[in-house]
Amino acid sequence: MRVVITGGAGFIGHRLAQALLAKGSLVDQSGQRRDIKELVIFDQAEPTLPLNDPRVQVQLGDMTQKQALSAALGGNVDTIFHLAGVVSGGAEADLQLGLAVNLDGTRLLLDLAADTGRKPKLIFASSLAVYGGPQATLVDDNTVPTPMSSYGVQKLCSEYLIGDYDRRGLIDGRALRFPTIAVRPGKANLANSSFISSVIREPVAGRATVCPVPDDLPIALMSPGRLIDAIIKVHDLPSADFGWPRSLVLPAVQVTVAEMLDALEALRGKAVRDLVTFEPSSRIIPMVKSWPAQVASERAARLGIKTDSGAREIVEDYLASVAG
């Protein structure tokens, strides 16, 4: 089968590609388990971490380029993991760029997928940014989306489109509302949540970092390892089991920066923890306080999706990834 990962050169895309190659097979749109013969990484730039596997192809382009995107799908695509997008801070800073990539690009992808006539599976990386305001402090399956950012609006609109294309029988669409994913390797990006990875990633690398929020501010997190498990599990479910709506809240564990640093100290020592200092930001703190601090999903639990046990598991997931 042919599998495409948009945004596949990014961190989550790379972790997903590694997991898929190791797994070797997926359940296709007809319900049959099949070997992955082709894994297409679609992104604007070459992956910085190459995947040395004959099944892997790299197609360069972005979500606004019809010809490049069409070539990536190849007319015989079975599964699309749609991870590409402008992150939260970037979409807020440049409205038109966010709309072009996150919304118009998703619609272009849907049309091209529908045009294959194969009803491919499409797993979409949505976000808890579809929620916002004081009514969204606690999010569960029944919480009404009330996005308070351009990024959240673009993700929610894309979810609705995916649901409609699915309803029409054009694709088998499934949107997952990601919580903040930590710890991410590499340099900090424009995501407003990037500090939560920096407070672990930087001291582990021996670098000092400044945290812009108080250490007791609660944040809903999921480790990359748990996220990848959830993505693949949702992909392989029968469509009827995934159910309606075609959007699913992924569960998260509530932690504080202090709990993350406690785990870091227990695993790497006090000297590493002391590389983190605090300088409260009047811009970042209100934004973080507007995010859901508690996330629960009975529906995800029924589907067998689990989240992390706590801050220590999240830090251990990162340390294992950099050790490997």
Active site residues: 151
CB count within 10 Å of CB 9 equals 24
The strand pairing partners of 277, in sequence order, are 210
Q: Could you tell me which residues come within 8 angstroms of residue 305 by beta carbon, excluding any fewer than 6 positions away?
A: 229, 230, 233, 234, 250, 251, 297
Least Cα distance to 112 among 169, 74, 84 occurs for 74
Assess contact for 123 and 176: CB atoms under 8 A. Answer: yes
Please give the C-alpha separations between residue 253 and each of 127, 220, 224, 299, in angstroms, as whole numbers: 15, 5, 13, 16
Count, residues in the chain: 324
| The Cα angle at residue 304 between residues 302 and 306, in degrees rounded to 5 | 110
Q: Which residues contact 206 (CB under 8 A, 6 or more apart)?
A: 275
Contact 43, 9 (CB under 8 A): yes
CA distance 320 to 7: 23
Contact yes or no for 102/155 (Cβ under 8 A): yes
Structure tokens at 102: 């996150």
